[in-house]
Structure 1
Amino acid sequence: MSDRLRLTAPLSSLEAWVDRFARAEIPVLTETAELLEQMRATEDDVDANGLGEMIAADPLMTLKVLATASELRRSRSEGLQAYPETVTAALVLMGITPFFRAFGPQPTLEQALADHEAALLGLSRVMQRAERASRYALGFAAHRADPDAAVIHSAALLHDFAEMLLWVHAPALALQIAADQDADRALRSAAAQRQVLGIELADLEQALMKRWHLPELLTRITDDRHAHDPQVRCVYLAVRLARHTARGWDDAGVPGDLHDIAELLNLSPEHTLKLLHEFD
């Protein structure tokens, strides 16, 4: 991506951030782009489950498909089902051939940040954290026999998508936030974001989900402000644990995570730790 297309200074308001990111191109993982082209070549053999499973491993491709399906759902006549809450449901709504028509060869994250190795590394860490969080959240939901386990998985995967987009479209600002937190280990993420961006990424994320008309359940489960709700708590604790264990299990926040997860799952801390290592 050309430097002239990147943000190097904060925008004036949350609305300005939403407008900028809502119009910006969303690149995906190289592996996703390559697998899509392989599937495109054998489109008649592709089904929604197989395609959905592949897409659901990529947070930003998941975001693009859900946003496109929600827009399609809005444009169709009334009396249809609710907005699709999972990638597979979105693909069933769209149809396989229309999906491949709507999604041509995809731009990749590696291309977008080919000239910015530090930003690509920072983004990769966020993507890996999201993948781990989605596994934890799905495990928690399955243990609780939650009927919305698939939506909870998607919510955890998408929980930090605004941070991913920041690394792509404003890498200098994302690096500044990371540097500020490295310099002050007590500095909370939200405070660092306000300091550098003038907004919190959680607010940007919620506003973008509403702009793209993503399903209400998915939007709500992704919002930490409702963390008293057990479904939201599955996502919140999964994301928190993935963040705390990103560099190992010796982080000072892990014991608190274990206590809260054990309470959510109604298990002992010892049994919870064993279960978490199985999920991992």
Structure 2
Amino acid sequence: MSPQSPLPTDPDAWGAFLCAVPAPILADTAEQLTELALLEERFGNVDAHMIADAVRGDPLMTMRVLSHAGRHRGEHQVTEVQTVTAAVVLMGIGPFFRAFPPAGLRVLEEELRTGADPQRLDEAMRLLERAWRTARVVTEFELQHGDPHAEAMQGAAVMHNLAEVLLWWRAPEVARRLGRDPDEDRQRELLGGTLVELQQALMSHARLSTLLRQLLPRPHEDEHDPERGSLALLRPQRRLLALSATLARRAELDPPAGLALEELEELAQWLALSTPAAERLAIQALL
């Protein structure tokens, strides 16, 4: 964004702005996709699971793949695409590499490393580390919970703070003024709304599935929410994801902190464990 460009003034406008340009992806993802593209060209034996394994740990590429699937749904396709694996199966291997040629994918580390501002890359990677930690924690919880939405939960986990990562890419001056874990007053001052609202707007503009949007925090959840019924059905998954994100964030503190007693008791209830067992699982999930 140039200094002359007007800043968006509300979360919906920010969501549109952050989706307006294809996001760069992580260097490791670009390298793995390059290798898979060569493998497919030579031997034709790449499958959807191999591509999903390369993509699902990258919030940026995860969003791009799911966004592509959402934007190219057939008129007779009733079911939304909720996972990277399903998106690649739907696209096909050849069309996937035509839609995302590795040589044409920009790399986040290279873009944020340019210039004299190392904070951009450092802060983006800190947020990505938090997302990966959240995904690891929610995976451990889901193994105990035994849930059919496990892969979608992982996708939601790695993308739960994607809006902040994208702010460091496209609007670093705003991200810098927000600071780390800003309160809602600060968020409203700089974004015209909260980060929760911005994340939801981003996912809506990216055409991500209803399930993924419902798994993440939503603003203004009340009796008038048109999705109240389906949100109630997803309450265990939503709370496990929220507790995972809380645990991942507190692990960054010095010294690191865990879940509070009431949070551990809630976790124990959802996982049908004793509170001490839930605490041990929470500690183990961070290792």
Query: TM-score surpassing 0.5?
Result: yes
Structure 1 segment 144-155 matched on structure 2, within 5 A:
144-155=145-156
Residue 138 of structure 1 aligns to a residue whose secondary structure is: helix
Q: 1:263 aligns with which of 263, 266, 269?
A: 269
Question: Where does structure 1 lack aligned partners over 5 or more consecutive residues?
Answer: 182-186
Name the counterpart of 2:139: 138
Displacement of 1:175 in angstroms is 1.6
| Identity score, percent | 33
Displacement of 1:212 in angstroms is 2.5
- The answer to whether the 8 A contact 2:200-2:213 is kept is yes
Q: With the length of structure 1 as denominator, give the TM-score of the two structures.
A: 0.87
Structure 1 segment 5-24 matched on structure 2, within 5 A:
10-24=7-21
Letter in 2 for 1:203: E
Separation in structure 1 between the aligned mates of residue 243 and residue 236 of structure 2, nearest angstrom: 10
Displacement of 1:252 in angstroms is 7.4
Structure 1 segment 193-272 matched on structure 2, within 5 A:
193-224=187-218, 229-247=235-253, 250-251=256-257, 254-272=260-278
Letter in 2 for 1:16: A
Per the alignment, do residues 66 and 33 of structure 1 end up closer, same or farther by CA in structure 2, a change over 3 Å counting?
same
1:201-241 deviation per Cα after TM superposition (whole angstroms, max 9, x unaligned): 21122122222321111110113556861111111111111
Q: 1:95 aligns with which of 75, 92, 96?
A: 92
Per the alignment, do residues 258 and 10 of structure 1 end up closer, same or farther by CA in structure 2, a change over 3 Å counting?
farther
1:68 equivalenced with 2:58 (yes/no): no
1:23-72 deviation per Cα after TM superposition (whole angstroms, max 9, x unaligned): 02301111111111111111112111111011001111000000001111
1:4 equivalenced with 2:26 (yes/no): no
Count residues in correspondence.
267
Letter in 2 for 1:98: P
Structure 1 segment 5-84 matched on structure 2, within 5 A:
10-43=7-40, 44-73=44-73, 76-78=74-76, 80=77, 82-84=79-81
Q: CA RMSD in A?
A: 2.3
- The answer to whether the 8 A contact 1:70-1:214 is kept is yes
Q: 2:282 aligns with which of 273, 276, 280?
A: 276
Displacement of 1:99 in angstroms is 0.3
Q: Which runs of 4+ in 1 moved over 6 A?
A: none
- The answer to whether the 8 A contact 2:137-2:282 is kept is yes
